[in-house]
Amino acid sequence: MRICDHCADEIPASKHRSAKYCSLRCQKDAAKLRQQPAAPVVKLPMAAEPGDPLTDRVRAELEAAGRLDTVLGQQAAALAAAMAAAGGQAMAALSRELRSVMDEALRGAKAEVDPIDELKLRRDRKSG
């Protein structure tokens, strides 16, 4: 029993013993598949190396603001990693997008106040 290379059906005994296909239709379909161009290969940017300063800083800022686990926080972290791996023209576009996403992610987050700035503010209120 021989099997068709295209549809995996049985090849009839009446076909020549070197036949690969069970019918003319399978033969034509297989030929069309061979002629189709292969799907394009998409090259993804390499992941940022562990310890990348930009990625680490973005993650630290988001974590300090309690926003790392949000959708925008994760998007910002992914953009920082892509930016660390990218080069050339992609860097400028990723930089603008990262700035935009970070602004949005940190919007409304409680700003950490430096104790010295707080003391200066109190002193200024008392004096004037």
Q: What is the pLDDT of residues 77-123, one digit of tens each?
A: 989 888 887 767 788 888 889 899 998 888 877 666 677 877 888 88
Kindly state whether residues 76 and 115 are assigned to the same domain.
Answer: yes
Kindly state whether residues 32 and 68 are assigned to the same domain.
Answer: no
Write out the residue range of the structural domain in which residue 5 sits: 1-36
- Taking residue 76's Cβ as centre, other Cβ atoms within 10 Å add up to 28
| CA atoms of 28 and 63, how far apart (whole Å) | 59
Give the largest Cα separation in the chain, rounded. 107
The three-point CA angle 72-80-85 to 5° equals 145
Kindly state whether residues 62 and 22 are assigned to the same domain.
Answer: no
Question: Mapping DSSP to helix (H, G, I), strand (E, B) and coil, where does residue 10 land?
Answer: strand
Does residue 28 carry a pLDDT above 90?
Answer: yes
Kindly state whether residues 75 and 116 are assigned to the same domain.
Answer: yes
Kindly state whether residues 116 and 66 are assigned to the same domain.
Answer: yes
> How high is the mean pLDDT of the chain?
84
